[in-house]
Amino acid sequence: MALFSSLTPVFIAIICVLIGVIMKKTNGEKEKRDTKSKHPSRPWVDEDLKDGTDHPLEEEEWQGLEENVAHVPFTGERYSEAEMIKRSQAFYELLNKRRSVRFLSDEPVPREVIDNVIRTAGTSPSGAHTEPWTFVVVQDPYLKRKIREIVEEEEEINYKKRMGDRWVNDLKRLRTNWIKEYLDTAPYLILIFKQVYGRLPNGKKKTHYYNEISVSIACGILLAALQVRVFPGHLSLADLCLRASQNACIE
Amino acid sequence: MALFSSLTPVFIAIICVLIGVIMKKTNGEKEKRDTKSKHPSRPWVDEDLKDGTDHPLEEEEWQGLEENVAHVPFTGERYSEAEMIKRSQAFYELLNKRRSVRFLSDEPVPREVIDNVIRTAGTSPSGAHTEPWTFVVVQDPYLKRKIREIVEEEEEINYKKRMGDRWVNDLKRLRTNWIKEYLDTAPYLILIFKQVYGRLPNGKKKTHYYNEISVSIACGILLAALQVRVFPGHLSLADLCLRASQNACIE
């Protein structure tokens, strides 16, 4: 462990909380709608196009939309081709130093850095700009311990029951298992919650489309923001996807 | 359109091809396995833990794994707290300039820059380090046109049939519709394919776990790499998730 004490712990333990909301009713409606329409239902599309409403728009409702367009012009800085090549190369070399580390030091990190990193992740694009994410920073040792317990319990089940031999063998090569000591040692855990729906003013649920993809993209930007400080931006996909434990976290 | 000609087009049209492979057989096996086990089946976990095998490991197979661990020490550069705060703030300000632009110029961009950006995305973490992504750069005008046709056809169906009123209203605020002229004007399209499985030496399928999350994280890192060159790293989630058209692209 000492070997790894040079690692900054703040980059670990990004847990993407994927709330297991299954919108059966909505599914039903979508299927009805699609079979009614002259277009065949395409599960791989419909999957992410769930909505709590059952009123597809008619052709004519789209008329006049084009005249109505009022986009905002973008003015960005420019670089020469040589400069673009140089910058893109340098950024590749920096991010290529990131490693998914499993042993971390408890060395403190300024909270302002964490806040900047989360702010950066919050610039991520999202479906219909719903920004379906919630970032929670955990510092309390007791809470970190409870989170570790939940994560390890679920991971042990994953390794022993849920995963197949092939995946387990992949992971053996990586020397990982369900023990996640770093969840205790890291001074911060950043929990990332996926919001599968929002609330309308009338209190009704409003589906957040492509929410898992949106949150995962934000995680990628968060990783880049962590790495830009030239410390290993850690993301354990195992943690990221521990949906059961994540669910438990917010119960 | 002219207003937007200062935009570099290369940052647009990231299309995440989500191949619609449904592993029913595997599901069935997983359910059997989980109901056999003393642990309840947790759909929100199992969903991403599909595997082509049906042989969960037994407790004793895990013994001795710990003694066996041989991790690689990490040595990264260090920054002072003040420097970390400064760098994280600067990166936030840079990424906060990113916009999801819909009108682009056809101005050429060095291919080397595209290659660096894709290399950077390739540093993303992935489930069991399967790296379940394929990046395809398209320059041929005819192929770009065919891709645009497929995307627009599916998007029109999305807007008119698949989406509900709520989402459509969300999008009206954003002034978007299914017309994606930028897919013609951008000198490069970066198609991002999700590999839902790989092949074992014996030719058998090997599931790539958490592949959608892994690819989406790589997309976030790709966006950051684009933006680092201080041009708008564009990602349209609509494009990103056009699974039907993406499927069609690779047929």
Write the ipTM: 0.71
Q: Does B147 fall in a domain?
A: yes
Confidence of residue A8 (pLDDT cuts 50, 70, 90): very low
- More confident call, A245 vs A222: A222
Cα-Cα end-to-end distance for chain B: 33
Q: What is the mean pLDDT of residues A227-231?
A: 66
Q: Does B115 fall in a domain?
A: yes
Torsional class of A82: left (φ above 0), alpha (ψ -120 to 50), beta (otherwise): alpha
| CA distance, residue A141 to nearest chain B CA (Å) | 22
Q: Does A51 fall in a domain?
A: no
pLDDT beneath 50, residues of chain B? 1-46, 51-67, 230-251
**A46-93 tens-digit pLDDT:** 455 554 443 444 444 444 444 455 677 877 777 889 989 999 999 999
- What is the pLDDT at residue B157? 86
Residue written as token pair 């058209």? B245
pTM attached to this predicted model: 0.71
- What is the pLDDT at residue A46? 47
Q: How far apart are CA B30 and CA B211, in angstroms?
A: 18
Q: Does B95 fall in a domain?
A: no
Find the CATH number of the domain harbouring A223.
Answer: 3.40.109.10
The boundaries of the domain holding residue A238 are 104-250
The beta-carbon neighbor of A177 closest among B65, B75, B96 is B65
Q: Does B48 fall in a domain?
A: no
**Residues B71, A213: C-beta atoms closer than 8 Å:** no
Q: How far apart are CA A168 and CA A164, in angstroms?
A: 6
Q: What is the DSSP string of B93-116?
A: HHHTT----S--------HHHHHH
The 3-class secondary structure across chain A, one letter per residue, is CHHHCCCCHHHCCEEEEECCCCCHHHHHHHHHHHHHCCCCCCHHHHCCCCCCCCCCCCHHHHCCCCCCCCCCCCCCCCCCHHHHHHHHHHHHHHHCCCCCCCCCCCCCCCHHHHHHHHHHHCCCCCHHHCCCEEEEEECCHHHHHHHHHHHHHHHHHHHHHHCCHHHHHHHHHCCCCCCCCHHHHCCCEEEEEECCEEECCCCCEEECCCHHHHHHHHHHHHHHHHHHCCCCCCCCHHHHCCHHHHHHHCC
Give how far Cα A7 sits from Cα of A72, A107, A234, Å.
Answer: 43, 8, 10
Q: How far apart are CA A30 and CA A42, in angstroms?
A: 11
Contact list in B for residue A71 (CB cut-off 8 A) is 4, 102-103, 175
| CA distance, residue B53 to nearest chain A CA (Å) | 6
Q: Which residues contact B56 (CB under 8 A, 6 or more apart)?
A: A160, A161, A162, A163, A164, A165, B33, B37
Amino acid present at B191: L
Closest chain A residue to B59, measured at CA: A160
| CA distance, residue B32 to nearest chain A CA (Å) | 11
- What is the pLDDT at residue A47? 53
Confidence of residue A125 (pLDDT cuts 50, 70, 90): very high
Q: Does B141 fall in a domain?
A: yes
Q: Does A161 fall in a domain?
A: yes
**B155-192 tens-digit pLDDT:** 888 888 777 776 777 777 667 788 899 999 999 999 99
- What is the pLDDT at residue A100? 86
Number of domains, chain A: 1
- What is the pLDDT at residue A195? 94
Q: Does A71 fall in a domain?
A: no
